[in-house]
A and B are shown apart, each in its own frame.
Chain A
Amino acid sequence: MARPGWIEPQFWHVSETRQEAPDVVTLGLTPAGRFEFLPGQFNMLYQPGIGEVPISVSGDAADTGHILHTIRDVGPVSHALCALRPGQRVGVRGPYGTSWPLAVAAGGDLVIIAGGIGLPPLRPALYQALGQRERFGRVVLLYGARTPDDLLFTDELSAWRARFDLDVYVTVDAAARGWRGDVGVVPDLVRRAPFDPPHTTAFVVGPEIMMRFTVRALRAAGVTDDRMYLSMERNMQCAVAMCGHCQLGPFLVCRDGPVFGYPQLARWLAIREV
């Protein structure tokens, strides 16, 4: 009898949904069995008849009964996922991929830098760092989005801002006058944030252009390449290193990523169409 192997998803119930932004929804899922993940990993979420997409787990890794995925509505599958209601079910395979190396950051400052929909894959790392706060020096969150309406997790952002052991800087590309915060780009936040560059580890997620500009700003500030980590994206279909789509030069993003150390990525980011 054929074994389903990597192919077959489990079906989990949606326990809650939350509208984070006009086109972004967080789904809370109840795992069908035992499920553990590391910050930075992703699941393949399946809607029968429509398709399957890779979505980073965006919740607290310590909360194994309640698995969160924050999804942006950009295509037929994500659209269906964003329309789910509590009680409905979604197919899940995972977790897959590499994770944020919190251990590398321990003993120094940790700067978490998110652009747009890049914040969800970083949130579990932030939770983990806050859960072991004494292991780190300064912990800094830098977050940029297109407009104030596109900011995610706004309630949490306020709560994080109120903490004395966390520095939070938020900026948007453009805003109308009602916005009382920063307007500008994430690399400029890097210039202003208080951290000690030679002893800093940075985790960066966002559109590729934003990550490249941010790396430049981190380098200019004195952060060394070997302490920068990025999360990359490519077309993903199997998530088990077999379908060939997620190749990025020598890497299979589903297996060697999505979290990569910057030094191994650097030369590949500089080559167009790779």
Chain B
Amino acid sequence: MPQTLEPLLRGHKFFAGLEPAHLSLIVSCAANEVFPAGSFLFREGEPAQTFYLIREGRLALEIAAPGRGSSVGALVVQTLGEGDVAGFSWLIEPHRWEFDGRVVERVLAVRMDGTCLRDKCEDDPRLGYELMRRFARLAANELQATRLQLLDVYGHAHDR
């Protein structure tokens, strides 16, 4: 029996609860990838037609910030690891990556092809709804976390 990526998809938190029929539909949009430490999965501004299910390792979402963030001039806004998903921009115009995705520790990921997925969703709106639900939940989570970071709750000695 040929090895498919279905077990990898099924095992990832993001697709938990997705019907087996839907999983089978989308497995052809998936590809298994390995990224060595220091490499980039994506760069700010590049076209975004994919998203990644992180299976192992650590990915840093970074933004170039001249003058800030050490001699390399980049700040890390979030790190992602096992069970996380990187990428919404494939869903939303203008389909461009908003951050750099740099590998901190070797990343094993499943790359999902956004164009392929969108086509499947057109054919099966129910699948589309399931994916939207998951991305909405993800986005809400990210928003909450971002707001918590923004609130800068820990303060700083200089802010008296």
The residue in chain B whose Cβ has the minimal distance to the Cβ of A214 is: B148
Total A-B residue contacts, Cβ distance less than 8 Å: 93
**A185 to B74 alpha-carbon distance, docked (Å):** 19
Q: Known contacts A184-B145, A187-B145, A192-B83; is A179 also within 8 Å of B76 by CB?
A: yes
Query: CB-CB < 8 A to B79: which residues of A?
Result: 171, 181-184
Contact bitstring B93-117, A, C-beta under 8 A = 1, else 0:
0000000001011000000000000
Query: CB-CB < 8 A to B61: which residues of A?
Result: 183
The residue in chain B whose Cβ has the minimal distance to the Cβ of A211 is: B153
Tell me, yes or no, whether A244 is within 8 Å of chain B by CB: no
Query: CB-CB < 8 A to A175: which residues of B?
Result: 69, 75-76
Q: Known contacts A146-B152, A173-B154; is A185 also within 8 Å of B70 by CB?
A: no
Q: Known contacts A176-B74, A181-B79, A188-B145; is A115 also within 8 Å of B104 by CB?
A: no
B145 A185 Cβ-Cβ under 8 A: yes
**A209 to B58 alpha-carbon distance, docked (Å):** 27
Tell me, yes or no, whether B155 is within 8 Å of chain A by CB: yes
Q: Known contacts A182-B79, A183-B79, A184-B78; is A115 also within 8 Å of B153 by CB?
A: yes
**A182 to B74 alpha-carbon distance, docked (Å):** 15
CB-contact partner of B154 in A176, A192, A207, under 8 A:
A207
A206 B153 Cβ-Cβ under 8 A: yes
Tell me, yes or no, whether A35 is within 8 Å of chain B by CB: no
A173 B152 Cβ-Cβ under 8 A: yes
- Complex interface residues of chain A between 151 and 184 (CB less than 8 A to chain B): 171, 173-184
**A72 to B158 alpha-carbon distance, docked (Å):** 12
A74 B157 Cβ-Cβ under 8 A: yes
Query: CB-CB < 8 A to B151: which residues of A?
Result: 209
How many residues on chain A are close to B (CB under 8 Å)? 35
Tell me, yes or no, whether B72 is within 8 Å of chain A by CB: yes
The residue in chain B whose Cβ has the minimal distance to the Cβ of A207 is: B153
A185 B149 Cβ-Cβ under 8 A: yes
Q: Known contacts A176-B69, A192-B83, A213-B144; is A183 also within 8 Å of B76 by CB?
A: yes
Query: CB-CB < 8 A to A150: which residues of B?
Result: 154, 156
Tell me, yes or no, whether A23 is within 8 Å of chain B by CB: yes
Query: CB-CB < 8 A to B144: which residues of A?
Result: 187, 213
CB-contact partner of B157 in A23, A192, A209, under 8 A:
A23
B154 A177 Cβ-Cβ under 8 A: no
Interchain nearest-CB distance for B134 vs A (Å): 15
The residue in chain A whose Cβ has the minimal distance to the Cβ of B60 is: A183
Q: Known contacts A192-B81, A209-B148; is A177 also within 8 Å of B153 by CB?
A: no
Tell me, yes or no, whether A65 is within 8 Å of chain B by CB: no
CB-contact partner of A183 in B77, B152, B157, B160, under 8 A:
B77
**A188 to B61 alpha-carbon distance, docked (Å):** 15
The residue in chain A whose Cβ has the minimal distance to the Cβ of B73 is: A177
A174 B77 Cβ-Cβ under 8 A: yes
Tell me, yes or no, whether A20 is within 8 Å of chain B by CB: no
Query: CB-CB < 8 A to B68: which residues of A?
Result: 176
Query: CB-CB < 8 A to B148: which residues of A?
Result: 185, 187, 209-210, 213
**A22 to B144 alpha-carbon distance, docked (Å):** 29
Contact bitstring A100-138, B, C-beta under 8 A = 1, else 0:
000000000000000111000000000000000000000
The residue in chain A whose Cβ has the minimal distance to the Cβ of B37 is: A180
Q: Known contacts A146-B152, A176-B70; is A73 also within 8 Å of B157 by CB?
A: yes
Binding site for A on B (CB under 8 A): 58, 60-62, 68-70, 72, 74-79, 81-83, 102, 104-105, 141, 144-145, 148-149, 151-157, 160
Query: Known pairs A144-B154, A209-B148. 4 more at Cβ < 8 A?
Result: A146-B155, A176-B75, A207-B154, A209-B153
Selected A-B contacts with CB under 8 Å, 5 pairs: A145-B154, A177-B74, A182-B79, A182-B81, A187-B145
Binding site for B on A (CB under 8 A): 22-23, 72-75, 115-117, 144-146, 150, 171, 173-185, 187-188, 192, 206-207, 209-210, 213
